[in-house]
Amino acid sequence: MPTAKEREQFVRALLGWYEKHGSDLPWRNLSNPYLVLVSECMLQQTQVDRVIPKYHAFAEQFPDVASLARASTGDVLRAWSGLGYNSRALRLQKFAREVVENHGGIIPSDIATLLTLPGIGKYTAGAIRTFGYGLPAAFIDVNIARILHRVFFGAEGTYPALSTQETEELAAYLAPMTSEAYPYHQALMDVGRKFCTARKTTCADCPLKTQCRARMRFEAEPLYLAEHRKKNRRTKEPFALSQRFLRGRIIHLLREHHEGLDFAELHALLSAIPVPNLERLPKALLDLEKEELLHLRENRYML
């Protein structure tokens, strides 16, 4: 665990940098937990530049919990088009409906209650509390965990990996339990995006460079991260052959055909794209139906 001096140095470096250089993003400084949640759902596995225009359009169409809760699932999925991972949109709407039905349309601010709601994990609960309400919390995602490990323990693969619990304990020790929790966590997000990504680092410009135990290795071995990732990379099925690609094409076609498509029509349209592995179509449709991403009505699939 870092010393008290190391902790103070870490927090002050982040806050000082953020005050001068923090990113101006549309979902920051809103005091609106709903729009914070929308942005957090969109930012999962999607780059900021792609999210910004979709965020604006989604917030205009569904400006609050109530409007999202009463919308049709098809309209929500159409508004989500282009972001991928459509289950995120479905979880977001389930959350909105739960809040309207059981919480009077008011998103809770305490972590314990937030964790009982659909699609909310520890990170998202902390983000809602801190970014939406300005209340202190400590939370991590993969980017924060990566920064904490590199700064205090060194580069990936050079020190035994911290467990999730150990990383959460470290995050709780470091995070200010004051109003500074907001800029502190936003600064971590910016540093993780600008200087300390999983694939490359820009150590010379990072506000944490004087404290970071990984910096020396990254600067001495410029290919270290690429070699580490290559060594630990798992062989993946090509995306165009994956079930996720097929599922995405199905949802895309159903967005365009509001009246729905029967199996034969859907199969023909997918064949024309073309989409490989169409023998997987029945299973993909069944899985999407179970996840409530589509519905079968009078032998026609629709959103």
Instruction: Supply the CATH number for residue 154's domain.
Output: 1.10.1670.10
d(CA 18, CA 37): 22
User: Which percentage of the chain shows pLDDT scores above 70?
Assistant: 98
Domain count for the chain, please give it: 3
- Answer yes or no: is 275 within a domain: yes
Q: Are residues 150 and 74 in the same domain?
A: no
Are 126 and 154 found together in one domain?
no
Contacts of 294 (CB under 8 A, 6+ apart): 250, 251, 254, 285, 288, 301, 302, 303
Q: Per-residue confidence at 243, pLDDT binned at 50, 70, 90?
A: confident
Q: End-to-end distance of the chain based on CA atoms, in angstroms?
A: 50
What pLDDT score does 245 carry? 85
Whether residues 286 and 157 fall in one domain: no
How far apart are the C-alpha atoms of 97 and 217, rounded to whole Å? 49
Distances (CA, A) of 55 to 21, 49, 51, 118: 22, 10, 6, 21
Catalytic residue among 6, 19, 40, 291: 40
62 vs 38, 134, 211, CA distance in Å?
10, 23, 43
Question: Which of 55-64, 147-156, 186-195, 221-230 is the least confident region?
Answer: 221-230
pLDDT at 267: 86
Q: Which two tokens stand for residue 128?
A: 């809602």
Q: Which token pair is 238?
A: 């090509």
Residues 82, 221, single domain; the answer is no
Percentage of residues in the chain having pLDDT higher than 90: 62
Q: Of 69-78, 157-166, 255-264, which range is least confident?
A: 157-166
Cα torsion 192, 195, 201, 206: sign? negative
129 and 36 within one domain: yes
Give the domain range for residue 201.
1-24+136-180+192-233
Both 129 and 145 in a single domain?
no
Same domain, 154 and 170: yes
Chain centroid to CA 233: 22
The whole-number average pLDDT for the span 22-32 is: 93
Would the pLDDT of 159 be above 80?
A: no
Q: Are residues 91 and 223 in the same domain?
A: no
pLDDT at 266: 85
Average pLDDT rounded to a whole number, residues 40-54: 93
User: What pLDDT does 30 receive?
Assistant: 86
**Which of 12-21, 76-85, 93-102, 172-181 is the least confident region?**
76-85
**Known catalytic membership, residue 40:** yes
Q: Are residues 148 and 1 in the same domain?
A: yes
| Backbone φ and ψ of 301, nearest 5° | -90, 135
Q: How confident is the model at residue 185 (pLDDT cuts 50, 70, 90)?
A: very high
- Domain membership flag for residue 187: no
| Structural domain includes residue 205 | yes
Provide the CA 13 distance to its chain's centre, in angstroms. Answer: 25
Question: Is 200 inside a domain boundary?
Answer: yes
**Whether residue 175 sits in one domain with residue 228:** yes
Residue 146 lies in a domain: yes
Let me know how long the chain is: 303
Cβ within 8 Å of residue 141, ≥6 positions away: 123
- Highest average pLDDT, of 71-85, 184-198, 211-225, 285-299, comes from 184-198
> What pTM does this model have?
0.84
Tokens representing residue 247 in the block:
């599922």
What 8-state DSSP symbol labels residue 160?
A: P
